[in-house]
Amino acid sequence: MSKYDIIVLGSGPGGYVTAIRASQLGFKTAVVEKESLGGVCLNWGCIPTKALLKSAQVFEYLKHAEDYGLSVKEADKDFDAVIKRSRGVAEGMSKGVQFLMKKNKIDVIEGFGKLKPGKKIDVDGKEYSADHIIIATGARSRELPSLPQDGKKVIGYREAMSLSEQPKKMIVVGSGAIGVEFAYFYNSIGTEVTIVEFLPNVVPVEDEEVSKQLERSFKKSGINIMTSSEVTSVDTSGKGVKATVKTSKGEEVLEADVILSAVGIKTNIENIGLEDVGIAVDRDKILVNDYYQTNIPGYYAIGDVTPGQALAHVASAEGILCVEKIQGMHVEPIDYGNIPGCTYCTPEIASVGLTEKQAKEKGFDIKVGKFPFSASGKASAGGHKDGFVKVIFDAKYGEWLGCHMIGTGVTDMIAEAVLGRKLETTGHEVLKTVHPHPTMSEAVMEAVADAYDEVIHL
């Protein structure tokens, strides 16, 4: 039996980062992976979707070249080539993780790992043991009883980025990050897209003003949006697919070539031995303490399988903290109230902290500032004036309670708010921090200025 200090089950952005940090700290480390290094994020999620979205953005630039004083004749897309590029990017990133495993002297054990009592893992019949076992098996597309996925006419995100041909019509069920990103991608390359959202607003976890702005932008792009609506059944017997949708006005039947189910995720915790070991689970999540220890000594869990936010950067941070705690380092629990969320459709969405509604519900007396990109010189020059930056401060102490952005490039801007909140900065300090001009980022300063009635360019 091979013996390790740490074995990580799963090699997604939680697992492989955890393994690398463990190796850096001197632990003899192995990672178990049943498919491809990098997990869903690198192979079927975060990375390849961004490649698809970039192709869509470039295509949109070409279609609107005249807006920039340029002439491009007969711009067209090659769907197969777009998909091929996305897969190539994913493969390149996965090979990069392979290199990192070798560089950090981490053993990669290929196969399906199953936990066993006594801090052991069985991988396709071969047994391995470790002082510490970290579960990082991630999640997959969730299926609804009314929307069973067949991988052809009713698909999940995985099939959505590797279709053999572009659908003429698509229904996207769910308007979280996955749903709106694919809705934007397919709409931009010519597919007729309808979004069906159960709740009253698209991207329902976002600030309401952000949700309304995205809905306006999407409708302007030709995307049909049905909120407060539910797909109650689907019929795949014909050439395409028919979806019965329950709305406030009654039932409606939509027809399309394919339905993308983007209604959330399901954790990968089945058949991995949790019951055999006695690891506690509640509502599809493995229960852990602040340092990711389960109820059974020597077993830990990080990432999507735990109750925290199901985000790649959260999984990575949890894994690093977990192994540093095992090493005996002084670590502080992660502040889940200061985790940035990003959605990469066009316009992009980025946010951190409380929404305006949440701040009011918590009883804060707040100052709210908002700066539209239509008043930004950089946004005007770039031809991307949709969107805004919105900031929320505690009126009494100046604490930065929340920051919400929608517009071009905002996913690269949100870190300022995350860092500012981490350092407990105040609105006055942000306002007096000189921001470069002309940039999109100065909209943050301008929004803060608006909150304090000192805005210059609005």
Just list the catalytic residues: 437
How many CB atoms sit inside 10 A of residue 90's CB? 25
The answer to whether 352 and 418 have CB atoms below 8 angstroms apart is yes
Helices (H), 271-423: 274-277, 312-327, 356-361, 377-382, 415-422
- The SS3 assignment for 258 reads strand
How many CB atoms sit inside 10 A of residue 79's CB? 17
Beta bridge partners of 253: 244
**Cα separation, 60 vs 296, whole angstroms:** 53
Nearest CA to 418 among 347, 350, 324, 331? 350
Nearest CA to 182 among 325, 56, 272? 56
Contacts of residue 252, Cβ cutoff 8 Å, sequence gap at least 6: 244, 245
**Cα separation, 305 vs 103, whole angstroms:** 28
User: How far are the Cα atoms of 273, 342, 418 from residue 308, in angstroms, in the given order?
Assistant: 22, 16, 17
Query: Which helix (H) or strand (E) segment is 186 a member of?
Result: helix 177-188
